[in-house]
């Protein structure tokens, strides 16, 4: 049977001439109609013919409600036909033919290569004939760019939080075990030739050395000392064993928490959560 309800209805209503029901399919090449009829009865097509008549067949699939052919046409156009100089035209046809996947593919292609495609003849014609579509595409472009910037910002934030987590690990490592050239008085230093597994260790070592020698070593002193104070407090808030912890001032900051304002507490708690989440995310990815 015919899989097109539209074509079936047309045939049923067509007049019989010389024993045949005749209908006229206009607006497309006769060869495209032949490929269309063959697909209706066999679900088969020649690759070369499909490439040549894909646009015409897309129109026929819409007019005669043949969803299976529309899917095939979408796939063929995506794989073999779409290019910067024709994607705007294909997008407009896809919208007219109710082909949402093809519309999405075209839109993504336009957004991905907007600089080139916006200079094409198809874009210029579309601007004059369909300004509302141009506005829609520009708004979508802005939306995609905004999402891209937000994603980049989140990735940068995660990177900073992960660096803070690594700094916490390195700080505990230096204060508890000691490393190459720095450590607690009761631990034997390992020497500068030893490879340290903590990526932030060298930076924390430099910061600790500066902190121990700086004459402005107060919470509101120089920038490096201020950073060291912040790292010490962050460690204290993340530490679960303050009574035995060997990181300086760990217990001091634990006791100081009670004197913080509610607003400051919320900020610190959010920071601790973000730092811990960054390590969990990094571990799950690995």
Using H for helix, E for strand and C for coil, what is the string for the chain?
Answer: CCCCHHHHHHHHHCCEECCEECCCCCCCCHHHHHHHHHHHHHCCCCHHHHHHHHHHHHHHHHHCCCHHHHHHHHHHHHHHHCCCCCHHHHHHHHHHCCCHHHHHHHHHHHHHCHHHHCCCHHHHHHHHHCHHHHHHHHHHHHHHHHHHHHHHHHHHHHHHHHHHHHHHHHHHHHHHCCCCCCCCCCCCCCCCCCCCCCCCHHHHHHHHHHHHHCCCCCCCCCHHHHHHHHHHHHHHHHCCCCCCCCCCCHHHHHHHHHHCCHHHHHHHHHHHHHHHHHHHHHHHHC
141 in a structural domain: no
136 in a structural domain: no
Number of domains into which the chain is organized: 3
235 in a structural domain: yes
Domain shared by 198 and 241, yes or no: yes
Q: Show pLDDT as tens, one digit a residue, over the chain (286 residues).
A: 567 888 888 877 777 877 777 777 889 999 999 999 999 888 899 999 998 999 999 999 999 999 999 999 999 999 999 999 999 999 999 999 999 999 999 999 999 999 999 999 999 999 999 999 999 999 999 999 999 999 999 999 999 999 999 999 999 999 988 887 787 767 777 666 667 889 899 999 999 989 888 887 766 678 999 999 999 999 999 999 988 999 989 988 888 877 778 898 999 999 999 999 988 876 544 4
Domain shared by 51 and 176, yes or no: no
Q: Provide the residue range defining the domain that includes 45.
A: 1-81
245 in a structural domain: yes
135 in a structural domain: no
């Amino acid at each position: 049977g015919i899989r097109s309800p539209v074509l079936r209805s047309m045939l049923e209503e067509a007049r019989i001439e010389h024993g045949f029901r005749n209908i006229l399919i206009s607006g497309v090449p006769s060869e495209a109609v032949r490929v269309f009829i063959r697909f209706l009865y066999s679900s088969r097509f020649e690759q070369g013919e499909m490439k040549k008549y894909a646009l015409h067949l897309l129109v026929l699939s819409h007019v005669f409600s043949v969803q299976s052919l529309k899917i095939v046409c979408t796939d063929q156009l995506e794989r073999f036909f779409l290019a910067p100089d024709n994607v705007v035209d294909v997008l407009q046809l896809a919208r007219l033919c109710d082909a949402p996947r093809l519309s999405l593919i075209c839109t993504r292609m336009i957004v991905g290569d907007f600089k080139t495609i916006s200079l094409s003849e198809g874009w210029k014609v579309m601007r004059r004939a369909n300004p509302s579509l141009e506005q829609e595409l520009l708004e979508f472009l802005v939306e995609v760019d905004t999402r891209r910037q937000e994603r980049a910002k989140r990735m940068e934030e995660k990177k900073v939080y992960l660096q803070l987590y690594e700094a916490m690990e390195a700080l505990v490592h230096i204060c508890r075990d000691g490393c190459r050239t720095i450590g607690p008085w009761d631990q034997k230093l390992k020497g500068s030739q030893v490879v340290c597994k903590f990526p932030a260790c060298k930076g924390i070592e430099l910061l600790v050395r500066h902190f121990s020698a700086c004459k402005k070593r107060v919470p509101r002193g120089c920038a490096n000392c201020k950073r060291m104070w912040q790292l010490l407090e962050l460690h204290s808030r993340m530490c679960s064993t303050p009574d035995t912890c060997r990181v300086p001032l760990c217990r001091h900051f634990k006791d100081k928490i009670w004197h913080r304002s509610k607003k400051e507490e919320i900020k610190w708690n959010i920071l601790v959560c973000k730092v811990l989440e960054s390590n969990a995310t990094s571990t799950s990815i690995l």
